[in-house]
Amino acid sequence: MKLLVTGGAGYVGSVVAAQLVEAGHQVTVLDDLSTGHADAVPEGARFVEGSITDPGPIEGFDAVLHFAAKSLVGESVQEPARYWRANLGGTLALLDAMRGSGVGRIVFSSTAAVYGEPEETPIPESAPPRPANPYGATKLAVDTALTAFAELYGLAAVSLRYFNVAGAYGRFRERHAPETHLIPNVLKVALGEREEVSVFGADYPTKDGTCVRDYVHVTDLATAHLLALDAAEPGTHKIYNLGNGTGFSVKEVIDVCRAVTGHPIPAVVAPRRDGDPAVLVASSEKIQRELGWKPEHAALETIVSDAWTALR
């Protein structure tokens, strides 16, 4: 297929673009490089530096895989308008361009952040969405627009709600500045780039007092996009959670990083970070049942060691 990958110079977008090229698709990456890196665009993909707010004519594409977004929870609380403009405004412009050019299929990167503080664990797609921050609210607004566009215009849409994406696919890895995510920050200590890692809160109602998250390997996450692309149906908006279904605490993650790197990785308890739910674990039963997705790299050791290998 001829595919447009927005945000394909970013972490998840570059891994999916690489897998699409390997699967024989004709891939064009559209990225404004505001947070992405030109050298993350995989070989074999065409690169267009530009914004989703002004994508120009996009006739001829069979589908769009839409990753381009602002994605930091903390930043979204500081600058909500920027998040609404980029994530909702940008996506509406992209949807207009798609409609104007007769492109009728989209796979969208949604997030666990749409659920906010969950009432049940693991979280099913039927859980009431109650985002606790502007980032989650903007992603939920796009999901709502996709449902409407499917009904109104016959769009074929699939939203994938990511939990905690981690790991690397060969050389394609996480490169955020500033880095806020747990696993890369812990590995920076092992690399000697940081003195210690902060544990944001050790008084949560969890097994060891630290927050529990569901870490999914970026390679498995990418595979789900290829399945979603095939499963998209005109007039329908399908929504799937993507996680491993197993929760690991911050302390457990640090222990696995110590074992993988052989570094003592000093950790200090710091105050809680605003907006962090105690436990976020996905039920991915729906995508497993409907699309036959299966996490192949579910072990946290594999996730961490792939991230570690790509960093060095």
Interacting residues with ligand UFG (CB under 6 A):
71, 73, 111-113, 135, 164, 180-182, 185, 197-200, 211, 213, 250, 273, 276, 280
| Secondary structure E strands in the chain | 2-6, 26-31, 46-49, 63-66, 105-111, 156-162, 164-166, 197-200, 212-213, 215-217, 237-242, 248-249, 267-270, 279-280
Q: Judged by CB, which is closer to ligand UFG: 157, or 253?
A: 253
Neighbours of 228 (CB within 10 A): 25
3-state DSSP call for residue 123? strand
The Cα-based distances of 291 to 7, 43, 231, 300 in angstroms read: 24, 28, 7, 24
Decide if 153 is catalytic: no
Q: How far is the CB of 1 from ligand UFG (least distance, A)?
A: 28
Catalytic residue among 135, 162, 169, 204: 135
Question: Please, which residue, 40 or 69, has the CB nearer to ligand UFG?
Answer: 69
Taking the least distance from each CB to ligand UFG, the nearer of 81 and 268 is 268
Task: Output 276 or 285, the one with its CB closest to ligand UFG.
Answer: 276
- In whole angstroms, give the CA distance from residue 79 to residue 113: 17
Least distance (Å) from ligand UFG to the CB of residue 195?
A: 12
Q: With respect to ligand UFG, which residue has the nearer C-beta, 6 or 164?
A: 164
CA dihedral 107, 70, 196, 268 (to 10 degrees): -90
Tokens of 188: 């920076």
Nearest distance from residue 102's CB to ligand UFG, in Å?
A: 32
Cβ atoms within 10 Å of 302's Cβ, excluding its own: 16
CA distance 50 to 57: 12
Which residues are catalytic, by number?
A: 135
